[in-house]
């Protein structure tokens, strides 16, 4: 994959890069009573935690010319009772999993009305409760996240243009040759991305576009996010855009880690004043 150094020196790229290169930091705002209410609602919807059932089988095994055969002569079941076993510290476990205070966890568990099921199967209860609380916390963090631009210069405050000289190894079987980008090939992860790059490259109003490199990562509470595309478009005026390509408009309706990373990316670029959106195809740019 060859770097087009003349593109890096062009006015279109320099202006685009000036707008998207700043890094940001984030803070999260949410109210504890809201967390408690939503976590309680989630735990109430958990599947019922029943006592484990132990099944015993007794039978006769006999060798034959065809191999070994077995015949069951007795099958019995019993529910396991934890009264005679050490009970784990549910608050310590959930505190370690969620980093919430013990008082907040006590309020969630007691208000949920499900705490009695803990004694049916302690580990299963703790695992499911932890998942409910972490998912709730995760949603509130993403919904309440705010990004702010880091002031200053240098690698702590912005992505450095020199990083483009570190050419990435690509598989040419999954790369589209293009004319209006930083590199002569654009790697793609799906047929949607390949068509997106091909169609952008053919449009006269798209002066420059690039698949953002793998090192261009935005920090989020749920892991780094690498946006898809940065674009320079010119009709009556020049606009500088960032776009994420997805195969369905329902993507933003889903609550998944991937969707939440994209939402964090939108907040990041919003703080920089750069338009960001999810697009299904190049016609939506």
Higher pLDDT, residue 251 or 214: 214
Q: Point out the least confidently predicted range of 8-17, 47-56, 111-120, 206-215.
A: 47-56
**194/282 Cα distance (integer angstroms):** 11
Task: Give residue 253's pLDDT.
Answer: 67
**Is it the case that residue 168 has pLDDT exceeding 70?**
no
**pLDDT grade for 254, boundaries at 50, 70 and 90:** low
**pLDDT grade for 123, boundaries at 50, 70 and 90:** very high
Give the mean pLDDT of 6-25.
94
Q: Point out the least confidently predicted range of 39-48, 112-121, 180-189, 248-257.
A: 248-257
- CB-based contacts of 11: which residues, under 8 Å, 6+ apart? none
* CB burial string 238-267: b at 16+ within 10 A, e below: eebbbbbbbeeeeeeeeeeeebbbbbbbbb
State phi, psi for 184 to the nearest 5 degrees.
-80, -15
Of 166, 58, 42, 185, give the one whose Cα is nearest residue 114. 42
Task: Give residue 149's pLDDT.
Answer: 95
Give the pLDDT confidence of 73-106 residue by residue, as tens digits.
666 666 666 566 688 999 999 999 999 999 999 9
Give the mean pLDDT of 139-154.
91
Task: Give residue 238's pLDDT.
Answer: 93
Spell out the domain ranges in the chain: 5-27+154-165+174-284, 30-47+82-143
**13/2 Cα distance (integer angstroms):** 17
Give the mean pLDDT of 45-64.
78
Pick the CATH number of 5-27+154-165+174-284 from 1.10.3470, 3.30.160, 3.40.1350, 3.40.50: 3.40.1350
Farthest CA pair distance, the chain = 88
State phi, psi for 77 to the nearest 5 degrees.
-135, 150
């Amino acid at each position: 994959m060859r770097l087009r150094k003349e593109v890096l020196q062009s006015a279109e790229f320099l202006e685009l890069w000036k707008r998207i290169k700043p890094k940001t930091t984030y803070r999260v705002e949410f109210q504890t009573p809201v967390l408690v209410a939503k976590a309680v609602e989630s735990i109430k919807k958990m599947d019922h935690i029943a006592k484990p059932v132990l099944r015993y089988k007794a039978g006769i095994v006999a060798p034959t010319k065809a191999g070994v055969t077995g015949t069951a002569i007795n099958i019995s079941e019993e529910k396991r009772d934890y009264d005679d076993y050490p009970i784990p510290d549910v608050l310590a476990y959930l505190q370690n999993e969620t980093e919430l205070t013990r008082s907040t966890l006590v309020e969630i568990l007691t208000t949920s009305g499900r705490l009695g099921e803990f004694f049916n199967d302690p580990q299963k209860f703790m695992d499911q409760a932890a998942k409910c609380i972490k998912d709730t916390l995760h949603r509130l963090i993403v919904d309440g996240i705010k990004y702010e631009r880091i002031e200053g210069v240098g690698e702590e405050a912005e992505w450095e243009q020199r990083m483009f000289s570190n050419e990435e190894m690509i598989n040419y079987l999954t790369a589209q040759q293009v004319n209006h980008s930083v590199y002569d090939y654009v790697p793609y992860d799906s047929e949607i991305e390949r068509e997106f790059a091909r169609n952008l490259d053919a449009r006269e109003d798209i002066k420059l576009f690039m698949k953002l490199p793998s090192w261009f990562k935005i920090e989020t509470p749920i892991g780094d996010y690498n946006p898809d595309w940065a674009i320079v478009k010119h009709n009556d005026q020049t606009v500088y855009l960032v776009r994420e390509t997805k195969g369905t408009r329902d993507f933003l309706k889903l609550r998944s880690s991937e969707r939440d990373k994209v939402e964090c990316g939108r907040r990041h670029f919003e703080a920089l004043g750069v338009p960001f959106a999810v697009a299904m195809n190049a016609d939506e740019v």
